[in-house]
Structure 1
């Protein structure tokens, strides 16, 4: 992150801290307060991933869209939506609120959903940026209409039901981003790219075989182990492995997960999934060619540490800026009262 970007982030964070402290925000572009209090309900069903992916692709291309990052990013931001509830019981209410937003307010809300995770996992957020950079653009009407159409299609087919559970096991039953990216690329001539993500059933079978080392007896897991996937895609194999650990009463966060992927969009999806599936603080995602970069795994781990240190430095700047501005306001108030 450049110095200018860091400075802008500090200023924005300070401004938001003061602007949004009150609950009566009147900024029409504020995604927190621009929604109506009586949002019309939408019909929601918990569709299979294949159905949701096709619905998203159909909505996007019907609206005249051609890029892949925007519709995939919409689903990723919805999957990351910070408001979770037990069993995703609040998903319908949240879906109605999101679906009611005007297009530009919707884009702002999706951006804030993704940016929420910068403080938590700046390394994964950085890898996921190809899915969210479009939120910083001045989108034209075709793209705005596409964003709204994709959002409503994903909500109707249950994106929040799949990813809105407070229990990470509930959020890990499916790899939505794999289905979405595959469907989008199928419409966009997937054959020319030669990309086929591993089907969930195959991932589960491979995981079970690896866990047992091909024997009939389950191999005991070792706390603190690391797992490496050099062709991770959006992380489907690790999703299955994490669910296997949970069924055995273990926490995937006790392990280290290193996912490497050549395609930036798929790597971004893996980074989002690592957050959605709650793989833990040692889950990292690197983007690059493992054949041309034999040290990619080590470089990815080092970069994660560097980005975390940079995040800590930026947060110190934010806290200092907020303290400075608050002190100035107090001094101005004291001066004015004399």
Structure 2
């Protein structure tokens, strides 16, 4: 198996996972007395996707702190990032029924599923999901549950769950959450001021006005990926496919690059995407060579894991068939 992302190998796995999601969504929407769907109060969301994303972030931040979630930014951001991978809006009502003890396993499954198809980007996003493996306590899980419920009630899936990548690329839901959770002094020290969407949209229009097929998009101060989003949308407006382009981006902030890695999946930038954490002023290539080498190593590791799993499955089938033959012969 080559070190290129082999999407076809995982078609069967992804198909089963999608079927499981659909079944969960159907179960959640069956008529029941006092279901989560019946208790949910639908609200009117802003027509502007960017304003809607800000509203989601503001309410999530309020929910996190009001439930005493603490000063860890990775937990609420990682929770919203995980939810943004769902492509079935109806799953919202099922999520609202989950107990605290079910949340860690759910989040592990979400991140594990994404690792199968994009291990390179999920590895970069590790700061957003490492906490799930730390066995969060009940107190922290209550804050996580509040974040999930608040995000759903405020229409997160209206922004992220559409099958069409153009629709779910209309806004960056992680940027206002990241900047809203970060203390002002920390932002000033880091120089972290994300470019407004209106500005990045204008820059994207200028950038690709005379673009050619197969262009490389390079962003040395990536943040959560806002410039990538604008360029991808501008390409789609022209009938071009972001998968035909190479996307290279880095930032000095590890949480920001983790968000950008998640967004690269949500926005469907394609297999030729590399994101990493590095200081663009520190080295000649801003760590690009090392990042590409690490990306290759991670993909090769995934391929080896999948090959081993496929081999073990075939071996179990052969052993099962052999047992049946021996039982038939004994009879």
* Alignment size in residue pairs: 297
Structure 2 partner of 1:69: 74
CA shift for structure 1 position 313: 1.4
> 240, 247, 253: which one pairs with 1:257?
247
Relative to structure 1, is the Cα distance of residues 188 and 103 closer, same or farther in structure 2, using a 3 angstrom cutoff? Answer: farther
User: Matched residues in 1 for 2:245 and 2:80: separation?
Assistant: 27
Q: What RMSD in Å do the two structures reach over aligned CA positions?
A: 2.6
Superposition TM-score, scaled by structure 1 size:
0.81
Instruction: Describe how 1:32-47 pairs up with structure 2 within 5 A.
Output: 38=32, 39-41=35-37, 42-45=40-43, 46-47=45-46
> 318, 322, 331: which one pairs with 1:331?
322
> 173, 179, 182: which one pairs with 1:182?
179
Q: Is the 8 A contact 1:177 1:234 kept in 2?
A: yes
Q: Does residue 60 of structure 2 align to residue 56 of structure 1?
A: yes
CA shift for structure 1 position 286: 1.0
Instruction: Describe how 1:1-338 pairs up with structure 2 within 5 A.
Output: 38=32, 39-41=35-37, 42-45=40-43, 46-47=45-46, 48-66=52-70, 67-81=72-86, 83-84=87-88, 91=89, 93-186=90-183, 190-191=187-188, 193-211=190-208, 218-219=209-210, 221-295=211-285, 296-336=287-327, 338=330
**1:169-193 alpha-carbon deviations (Å, 9 max, x no partner):** 0010000010111111148965565
User: Matched residues in 2 for 1:187 and 1:142: separation?
Assistant: 27
CA shift for structure 1 position 224: 0.9
Question: For structure 2, which runs of at least 5 residues remain unmatched after alignment?
Answer: 1-12, 47-51
CA shift for structure 1 position 139: 0.9
Question: For structure 1, which runs of at least 5 residues remain unmatched after alignment?
Answer: 1-16, 25-30, 85-90, 212-217
**1:236-279 alpha-carbon deviations (Å, 9 max, x no partner):** 01100110111111111110000101111111100000000000
CA shift for structure 1 position 291: 1.9
CA shift for structure 1 position 152: 0.6
